[in-house]
Amino acid sequence: MTDSDTKARLLAAYDQQLRTDAETPSALAVKELGPLRLVKFLGGRGFITYQDLAGADEQGIRGLVEAAVSHFEGQPAITKVEWKTRGHDHAPGLHEALIANGFTEDDPESIMIGEARALSTAVALPHGVALREVTDEADVRAMSAMQDEVFGEPVSDEMADALLHRLSLDDGMQLWVAEADDQIVSAGRLEPVPGTAFAGIWGGATRAEWRGKGIYRALTARRAQAALEMEKTLIHSDSTEFSRPILERSGLLKVSTTTPYRWARS
């Protein structure tokens, strides 16, 4: 099978298995609007996704965007919304409609998919660095704060609260960190997707001074091993340009792109 055939097979699995309720396991509420799924999360976050746009033309897509914004404008508790686009979708005029309705475009990320066993090989860690799964509140808050710092965001309780809520659901999500001298230097989570062959690896972050030492690769391998223990055979991730090359070296393939568009209540 050629790389092109493999990418087509993996992308089809992604569209069929992941672009469903499986995409939003921690949603507080989901409303269907035509092909759209309008999702409410903790912390006043809204999210818009879909399996496809049902063949809508430019005018139809503009109407969907306007209706989605109207829905969230009518919910004062929602302060920000993400519309998740995919590069392989047929979506005429979507970018223009989103910009016209107050969304701003983020940087695109690569949709990476591959076999869990390709990532699960042993990776040597630098001396003094160890991996462990975290579940205690103090550890989760320390992990979340480190990720905020690495991503250049103000340290906040929002993500930590969401992760602690997820852990309380006992839905299989795992949080993993790498530590050196009692400091978290890298972190990421594993999210098995019920009813599918997939587990997602998310939130990968490594402090700048610890990059290039194989720590993120080791953390990825350990999460892949945990996925296999759950009988998940495929790994998926939306990757920045920092993590994409690492995942490619581990055998994952870039099958498409995803670009978030963000709306904030004025």
Residue-wise pLDDT tens digits, 89-129: 999 999 999 999 999 999 999 999 999 998 888 899 999 99
Q: How many whole angstroms separate alpha carbon 191 and alpha carbon 235?
A: 10
Bridge-based pairing state of the strands 198-206 and 234-239: parallel
Residue among 114, 119, 112, 113 at smallest CA distance from 225: 119
- Name the residue with higher pLDDT: 234 or 3: 234
With a cut of 90, say whether residue 26 has pLDDT above it.
no
Asked if residue 118 and residue 249 are part of one domain, the reply reads: yes
Bridge-based pairing state of the strands 129-134 and 174-180: antiparallel
Asked if residue 186 and residue 90 are part of one domain, the reply reads: no
Averaged confidence pLDDT in the chain? 94
Neighbours of 41 (CB within 10 A): 18
* Angle, CA 84 vertex, CA 82 and CA 90 arms, to 5°: 145
Asked if residue 242 and residue 138 are part of one domain, the reply reads: yes
Q: How confident is the model at residue 19 (pLDDT cuts 50, 70, 90)?
A: very high
pLDDT digits (tens, 9 = 90+) for 249-265: 888 999 999 999 999 99
Asked if residue 246 and residue 119 are part of one domain, the reply reads: yes
Bridge-based pairing state of the strands 253-264 and 109-115: antiparallel
With a cut of 70, say whether residue 207 has pLDDT above it.
yes
CATH of the domain at 186: 3.40.630.30
pLDDT digits (tens, 9 = 90+) for 57-94: 999 999 999 999 999 999 999 999 999 999 999 999 99
Give the pLDDT mean for 208-232: 95
pTM of the model: 0.88
Asked if residue 233 and residue 132 are part of one domain, the reply reads: yes
With a cut of 70, say whether residue 1 has pLDDT above it.
no
CATH of the domain at 71: 3.40.630
Structural domain boundaries, residue 66: 3-110+259-264
% of the chain surpassing 70 pLDDT? 100
Asked if residue 252 and residue 164 are part of one domain, the reply reads: yes
Asked if residue 21 and residue 102 are part of one domain, the reply reads: yes
What are the backbone angles phi and psi of residue 124, rounded to the nearest 5°? -70, 135
What are the backbone angles phi and psi of residue 162, rounded to the nearest 5°? -65, -40
Q: How many whole angstroms separate alpha carbon 85 and alpha carbon 63?
A: 16
With a cut of 90, say whether residue 246 has pLDDT above it.
no
Q: Count H helices and E strands in the chain, helices first.
A: 8, 12
Asked if residue 216 and residue 126 are part of one domain, the reply reads: yes
Asked if residue 124 and residue 238 are part of one domain, the reply reads: yes
Asked if residue 230 and residue 100 are part of one domain, the reply reads: no
Asked if residue 226 and residue 164 are part of one domain, the reply reads: yes
**Count of domains for the chain:** 2
Give the pLDDT mean for 134-142: 97
Asked if residue 243 and residue 119 are part of one domain, the reply reads: yes
